Structure 1
């Protein structure tokens, strides 16, 4: 690690993690990874996590809500990609369900329609309609949008 045996005290580690959590919302997995990165003794992990939760620096539901809302609004991710990313961070199904409610249905459909139209028109050189449809579909699925919703948009094409 580079600190050659000079391990942080529990209080020093806690102070560093308070800053880490105050800077941006974190999930438990992020904090645990940071504990390992800081070379904090394994026996101190649970107590540090408990303190951060108690002091409200660490709140998985709040993290999940912010993650879902932000990734939808800023990165234009669909529900499937957001859910997959939250699962990779070991977020509970309960918190994922709560987080998905942060995404307004009308805004979601509007964003999907806009992405669909932008991608469709960006492929104006593609003469084969089926290849064009596949490229648009692949793009939107990769962004995390549901195939059933995408198929509805194709039905509305003139």
Structure 2
């Protein structure tokens, strides 16, 4: 099976559309670039073009990722940090992204999801109920001390 051959300009356009559709990190763009089997010089040229024309911006990606995962999936800071590190985002950009989450909103969200989850836990034993709630919130990426504080308040 033969693969279609693209010029560097065609690949640039394809990757511009790829980046415009949704913010992307370098890792995602490089994975997409590997599909085209380019020589290293052409890869670097395309990546440089995307960065210079602001199609590829790691800080913007990290900020939108953190906002989205917190507001939509209700993830905690620890889970967001873990996922950004997995995508090879720098510590500076991770810290910048976490500033997008307001402390008051963070605590309010934690309390809301704890209350909702608590209602769905069918457990008579109070200790097991607390343990299940704690594990759920910990998997969501919330900090242990905040979880314990919220559990004390709502139970």
Larger mean CA deviation between 75-84 and 32-41 belongs to 32-41
2:36 aligned residue: 38
Residue 157 of structure 1, CA deviation: 3.7
- Superposed CA deviations along residues 34-93 of structure 1, whole A, max 9, x for unmatched, are 001233333311111110000010100000000000110011010011111100110000
Conserved in 2, the CA contact under 8 Å of 1:29 and 1:90? yes
Which residues of structure 1 form unaligned runs of 5+? Answer: none
Query: Offset at 1:3?
Result: 3.6
Q: CA deviation at 1:138?
A: 0.7
TM-score (normalizing by structure 1): 0.93
Kindly indicate whether the alpha-carbon contact (under 8 Å) linking 1:119 and 1:136 is maintained by their aligned counterparts in 2.
yes
Q: How many residues align?
A: 155
Match of 1:95 in 2: 93
Aligned-residue CA RMSD (Å): 1.3
TM-score, normalised with respect to structure 2: 0.95
- Deviation readout 1:7-38 (Å, 9 max, x if unpaired): 32211111110000010000111100000123
Contact kept, 8 Å, 1:64 with 1:91, in 2: the verdict is: yes
- C-alpha distance in 2, partners of 1:50/1:147? 41
Structure 2 regions of 5+ residues with no counterpart?
none
Conserved? CA contact 2:24–2:61, under 8 Å: yes
